[in-house]
Every structure is written in structure tokens, then in C-alpha cells.
């Protein structure tokens, strides 16, 4: 019971902390800090930036210095943040507007603003402004914020009094073990390690019991789903997953297992269709997407590892998926352990679908910048440049043609327009 309570509390505490951070960090503060950073980079001098803020924004010198130190804290610190908080937060401070971020994702402006507030709040919570010293010449913010997005865990591991060698050794031990649930790494930092400790002390049965019980508490389940942070965990898919969880909690595993299995495939398939990798036809079987074998992911050649082999890696050899979904196996109706695993795998799949989408999505600013330097370009060249796929490259170009930022050159080649150049200047901000 202590194992379960510890896992409960870890998830709940993180949710409470996130809520408190957001409540204490109004979006206006985020904008003020970002604007101060822009002045800092324009002037390239801390004293001059302070005086500019005092004059242009009619604030006291102490307030101007505070905003600049807050910006410096965000620029250099790397606290643990959920995936979307660090992504949207760093893009916002890199010059992108909330409107543009909303247009390039499935999230609303309100949701993106909350993640930005959490991003800023987490940085400020870790910082001691009295000890922050402003550099005389600020570094390239685009490079730093890009590094926050792409190497966040590595940057965080270098802060504070951390024995990195010990951490690496611990992770290597876990990865080399027979622990089946090592893929539960998409929620609270440290939860997977705690589950591994339970596994070492009491075995896998106790781990399954803990994971199953975590699904049977409304507050904890709400916290878990909120941390999955997936654009695909909403609407009908969210309802299907919750229905599977309800059936699981009622012991109706004959309903929970097949439902969860469909969503393990479905989340990744939806990401593929959003990216133009696949177009669903009118066939009920959807064979153009699923093909044959264990899971659709391995049949989508445009996916790069590790996404392409996600399903086989998570399910392992001898997966019951096909036999269950085709009605061959019926011996799972009392299998609580399998139901638990399928539901947590479904949540992992929703999280992975977001990573797949982010991995292949071509951002507007990057595409315009590429075509501004070298234009026209064929869709295949664009896809190669951004390590994406031709269908998605065409889709992104057509979208920008409709906006007036690109125009067709010949065939499926595109060039930037004067309006596109203006848009690029706007996106680059300061």
C-alpha cells in the first residue's frame, strides 16, 4: 500500500505544483519579460537596456532591472518542464506569437498561454534574482532557446550538485534489465525509477498492481491524463480511452483491452494522416494504413526510428494484438495485468504521436527562411532539408500559397513572395 500511496502522491504533487506555478505567473508577466529581453538584445548592453525600458515603458529603474534579470534567468536556467511547456515557452521567447503557435498546432490560445506561464514560472521559481548577473553582451537567444528545446534533459543534468555518472549508471542498469515497464517515462520525472525500485523489491506483479490502482482514482487519473500532454488525447479518442479505463476499473477486461488496442494504433495513424503521410480511404479496414503485422507504425516508412518500431518495442514478441482484434483469442476477459498494460501503452502511444508530429512538422518560419535564401525549391528538396516527407512538404507549401507567402514556380516547386518576405521579417521579431 505504501508503494501505491507514494506513486499517487508523486503524481498529485506535480499537478498541484504545476497549478500553483500557473496561478502565480500571469501571462502579462511573460510578455513583459520577453519584451525586456528584446530590448536587451537590441541594445546589447544591460545598462542601456535598463534606461530604454525606463523611458519607453515608463517604469521604475528597479522594475526594469528586475525584468531583465528575470529574462536572464529564463535564458540560462533549465528546470524540468513538461514537453509542451518547454516547447511553446522557448518558441514564444524565441519570437513566435501565441497566435502563430496556435495556428501551427491543435491547441487553443488559452492552452498555449498556460504552458508558457508554466515555462516562465518554473524558471523563475528556480532562480534567485539577487544572484543573477546580466552579461554585458547577451548570447544568441535563438541558439539558446533552440538548445532548450532539443537538449533539455542534457542541459538540466548539468545544473546543481548532481552525480551524473551515478545517474547514467542507474539508467543503464534499468535499460538493461528485464523490467517490462521501462517505457513508462512520459509522466512524472522519477516515476519510472520508483516503479523499477518496486520491481526490484517486490516483483512485476506489484508494479502491475500499482499501475492498475492508479487508474482507479479520479483525481490521480485526471492528473495522469493532463501530463500526457498530447494533442491527440481529446474529443472522441479521449472518450474512448476513458471508456476503456472505466471498463478496466469495473473488471470488464473484455471491453477495456480491445478498446485500448485500437487507440494504440489510432493515435499514431492520426498523426500520420495529419502529416500527409497517409490518406484514409473509404475502406472499413483502412488497409492502406495498417497493412499487415503487429501495429501500423512499422509500416509507415516515412517515420524515423525510434517511432517506426514503437509498437514492436513496446509490445514485445508474441504480442496478442492481432489475435484479440480478429476475435481469435477470447482468453483475456479476466486478465487484469494485460488490461493494465494495454491502457498504459495507449497513453504512451498518445504521447509518442505528439513526438512523431513534432518530429516531422515543418514550421512556417523555417520554411520561409529556407526559401528566402534559396528559391525556388522542389517539394522533395524541401522534405529532404527538413528530414520530413514529400506529402507533408507539399501540404505545408500549399498552405502558405493560400496565405500568399509562397507561389508555385513549376510543377511542385515553390518560391517565396514579397508578402512572404515581410512575413518572415515579422516572424523573426527583433
Residue in the block written with cell 547514467:
168
| Torsion over CA: 119, 120, 125, 130 (sign) | positive
Domain 364-428 has CATH 3.40.50.300: no
pLDDT at 153: 36
Among candidate residues 285, 284, 236, 282, the one with its CA nearest the CA of residue 263: 236
Least confident of 70-74, 89-93, 218-222, 272-276: 272-276
pLDDT at 293 exceeding the cut of 60:
no
Mean pLDDT over 384-397 rounds to 79
Confidence of residue 72 (pLDDT cuts 50, 70, 90): confident
Residues 187-208: pLDDT tens digits?
655 677 778 888 888 888 888 8
Pairwise CA distance, residues 346 & 343, whole Å: 5
Please give the Cα distance from 215 to 242 (Å, whole number): 10
Whether residue 429 is predicted with pLDDT greater than 70 in this model: the reply is no
Residue 137: what pLDDT?
62
For the cut 70, the answer to whether the pLDDT of residue 333 exceeds it is: yes
pLDDT at 10: 63
Query: With bands split at pLDDT 50, 70 and 90, how would you rate the model's confidence at 15?
Result: low
Beta bridge partners of 413: 378
> What number is the average pLDDT over the span 37-46?
86
Q: What is the pLDDT of residues 116-175, one digit of tens each?
A: 998 898 888 877 777 777 766 665 545 444 544 444 333 333 323 334 344 445 556 766
Mean pLDDT of 18-29: 85
To the nearest 10 degrees (0 to 180), the angle between helices 336-360 and 235-249 is 160
Which pLDDT value is given to residue 417? 94
Pairwise CA distance, residues 252 & 245, whole Å: 10
pLDDT band at 97 (very low <50, low <70, confident <90, very high): confident
Of the chain, the percentage scoring pLDDT greater than 90 comes to 16
What pLDDT, on a 0 to 100 scale, did the predictor assign at position 106? 61
pLDDT exceeds 90 at position 405: yes
Select the more confidently predicted residue: 352 or 207. 207
Using the predicted structure, report yes or no on whether residue 273 has a pLDDT greater than 80. Answer: no
For range 2-7, the mean pLDDT: 54
In the predicted model, what is the mean pLDDT of residues 253-273? 86
Residues with Cβ < 8 Å from 32, sequence gap 6 or more?
67
- 362 CA to centre of own chain: 15
Q: Which part of the chain is CATH 1.10.10.10?
A: 364-428
Threshold 0.75, pTM exceeds: no
Select the more confidently predicted residue: 366 or 415. Answer: 415
Alpha-carbon distance of 289 to 270, in angstroms, equals 10
The pLDDT value recorded for residue 11 is 62
Q: Whole-number mean pLDDT of the chain?
A: 76
3-state secondary structure of 386: coil
Amino acid at each position: 500500500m505504501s508503494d501505491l500511496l507514494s506513486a499517487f502522491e508523486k503524481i498529485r504533487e506535480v499537478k498541484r505544483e504545476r497549478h500553483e506555478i500557473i496561478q502565480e505567473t500571469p501571462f502579462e508577466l511573460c510578455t513583459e519579460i520577453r519584451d525586456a529581453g528584446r530590448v536587451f538584445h537590441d541594445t546589447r548592453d544591460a545598462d542601456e537596456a535598463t534606461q530604454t525600458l525606463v523611458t519607453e515603458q515608463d517604469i521604475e529603474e528597479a522594475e526594469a532591472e528586475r525584468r531583465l534579470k528575470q529574462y536572464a534567468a529564463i535564458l540560462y536556467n533549465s528546470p524540468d518542464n513538461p514537453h509542451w511547456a518547454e516547447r511553446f515557452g522557448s518558441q514564444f521567447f524565441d519570437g513566435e506569437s501565441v497566435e502563430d503557435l496556435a495556428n501551427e498546432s491543435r491547441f487553443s490560445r488559452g492552452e498555449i498561454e498556460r504552458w508558457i506561464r508554466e515555462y516562465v514560472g518554473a524558471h523563475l521559481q528556480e532562480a534567485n534574482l539577487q544572484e543573477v548577473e546580466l552579461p554585458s553582451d547577451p548570447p544568441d537567444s535563438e541558439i539558446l532557446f533552440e538548445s532548450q528545446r532539443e537538449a533539455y534533459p542534457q542541459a538540466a543534468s548539468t545544473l546543481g550538485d548532481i552525480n551524473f555518472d551515478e545517474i547514467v549508471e542507474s539508467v543503464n542498469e534499468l535499460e538493461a534489465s528485464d523490467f517490462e515497464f521501462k517505457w513508462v517515462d512520459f509522466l512524472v520525472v522519477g516515476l519510472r525509477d520508483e516503479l523499477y525500485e518496486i520491481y526490484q523489491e517486490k516483483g512485476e506483479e506489484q508494479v502491475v498492481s500499482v499501475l492498475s490502482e492508479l487508474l482507479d482514482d479520479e483525481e490521480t487519473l485526471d492528473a495522469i491524463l493532463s501530463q500526457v500532454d498530447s494533442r491527440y488525447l481529446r474529443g472522441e479518442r479521449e472518450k474512448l480511452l476513458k471508456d476503456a479505463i472505466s471498463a478496466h476499473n469495473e473488471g470488464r477486461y473484455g471491453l477495456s483491452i480491445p478498446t485500448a488496442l485500437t487507440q494504440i494504433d489510432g493515435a499514431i495513424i492520426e498523426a500520420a494522416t495529419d502529416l500527409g503521410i497517409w490518406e484514409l480511404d473509404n475502406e472499413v479496414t483502412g488497409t492502406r494504413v495498417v497493412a499487415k503485422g503487429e501495429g501500423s507504425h512499422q509500416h509507415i516508412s516515412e517515420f524515423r526510428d525510434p517511432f517506426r518500431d514503437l509498437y514492436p518495442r513496446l509490445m514485445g514478441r508474441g504480442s496478442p494484438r492481432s489475435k484479440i482484434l480478429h476475435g481469435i483469442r477470447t482468453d483475456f476477459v479476466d486478465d487484469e495485468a494485460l488490461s493494465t498494460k494495454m491502457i498504459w501503452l495507449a497513453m504512451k502511444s498518445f504521447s509518442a504521436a505528439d513526438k512523431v508530429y513534432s518530429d516531422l512538422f515543418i514550421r512556417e518560419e523555417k520554411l520561409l527562411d529556407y526559401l528566402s535564401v534559396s528559391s525556388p525549391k522542389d517539394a522533395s528538396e524541401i522534405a529532404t532539408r527538413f528530414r520530413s516527407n514529400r506529402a507533408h512538404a507539399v501540404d505545408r507549401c500549399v498552405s502558405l500559397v493560400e496565405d500568399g507567402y509562397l507561389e508555385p514556380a513549376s510543377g511542385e516547386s515553390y518560391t517565396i513572395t514579397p508578402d512572404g518576405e515581410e512575413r518572415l521579417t515579422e516572424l523573426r521579431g527583433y
